[in-house]
Amino acid sequence: MGRLVGLSLLGIALGLLGERLLALRNRLKASTEIESVDLPNCYLIKGIETGAEDIDILPNGLAFFSVGLKCPGLHSFAPDKPGGILMMDLNDENPRALELRISRGFNLASFNPHGISTFIDSDDTVYLFVVNHPEFKNTVEIFKFQEEDNSLLHLKTIKHELLPSVNDVIAVGPAHFYATNDHYFSDPFLKYLETYLNLHWTNVVYYSPNEVKVVAEGFDSANGINISPDKKYIYVADILAHEIHVLEKHPNMNLTQVKVLKLDTLVDNLSIDPSSGDILVGCHPNGQKLFIYDPNNPPSSQVLRIQNILSEKPAVTIVYANNGSVLQGSSVASVYDKKLLIGTLYHRALYCEL
């Protein structure tokens, strides 16, 4: 009798494990293959060989790139090389990516940048917020951009118990931001277990020097975050749920959900087209290929444009798609004056003239 009960429990456990594995494959879109959607007048950006996970462009056309991200379980073409911040002036006839010098005292050897965001203060000071994973920990670094010598002055390192697994930030003040946590836990094993069990425990946090609080929760894996041009709404990408959440921002900085846009791809970083207010999304059509890297069958890339997201039927179009032969693992797309930049988790970056 005891053996029968044991075998029954083992069977139930194996069944549950199998069901979770199948569900994870579905969340990763593990069987998806795509057809290419090419753009003319594109070239790979020289000097970006190990990914440009996030890109943010100032209104004057200066673009910042977060390069060299390394995460446990994620492929890297240069695992021992620290990350950095690059800049490109999109007003130049032949723009080049140049690495920005960072002020003394900042630990460059462990710099591992992830999501980034800029904020321009009333006195025209430009602040750059950078999610950093030194030794796979979690901080948000605040820099002042010094255009006269193309450098970053490090101002502050932010750590907080409500920021255990930061992915992306959107700055809303000189020391104020919303941040996404893509996991509830910081421990690598617990992160994996959380993803496997599909717990939906991830969240969005508001940070200011006077207050830190969770303002939205219940996401599968909260990822990219941005703000509408009128500053009334926050957009959040839930990568494993294939959704973009629209949340209304209140005077007390709390958020309430307005709508959810369901898509058929893994949505990563979100950028805003300043000329139209459209949302550009860096996407992963097949997430399994990101984590099980095969150079003969590399991860594909996809960029979506979302128009009128607040309407009943937003228009979703594919701007760019590639099977990995040119660009592997697209994570972000940003546009300025008919110039499109596409970054990746750990591969190259693409510049296109639209």
Instruction: Give the H/E segment covering residue 14.
Output: helix 2-27
* CB-neighbour burial class of residue 54 (10 A; exposed 0-12, middle 13-18, buried 19+): buried
269 marked ligand binding residue? yes
286 marked ligand binding residue? no
* Strand partners for 339: 336, 353
* Whole-Å CA distances, 17 to 119, 164, 299: 45, 27, 26
Contact 205, 213 (CB under 8 A): yes
Contact 255, 234 (CB under 8 A): yes
- Of the candidates 114, 183, 242, 284, the residue annotated as catalytic is 114
Q: How far apart are the first and last CA of the chain?
A: 71
Q: Distance (Å, rounded) from C-alpha 83 to C-alpha 110? A: 8
187 marked ligand binding residue? no
230 marked ligand binding residue? no
* CB-neighbour burial class of residue 15 (10 A; exposed 0-12, middle 13-18, buried 19+): exposed
77-87: b (≥16 Cβ within 10 Å) or e: eeeeebbbbbb
Q: Distance (Å, rounded) from C-alpha 166 to C-alpha 136? A: 11
168 marked ligand binding residue? yes
167 marked ligand binding residue? yes
Q: Distance (Å, rounded) from C-alpha 203 to C-alpha 179? A: 8
Edge to edge, what strands does the sheet with 113-120 contain? 101-102, 151-158, 139-146, 126-132, 113-120
54 marked ligand binding residue? yes
176 is catalytic: no
- 306: tokens are 């979302």
238 marked ligand binding residue? no
Query: Active-site positions?
Result: 114
- Cite the annotated binding site for Ca(2+) by residue number: 53-54, 116, 167-168, 223, 268-269
Annotated binding site: 53-54, 116, 167-168, 223, 268-269
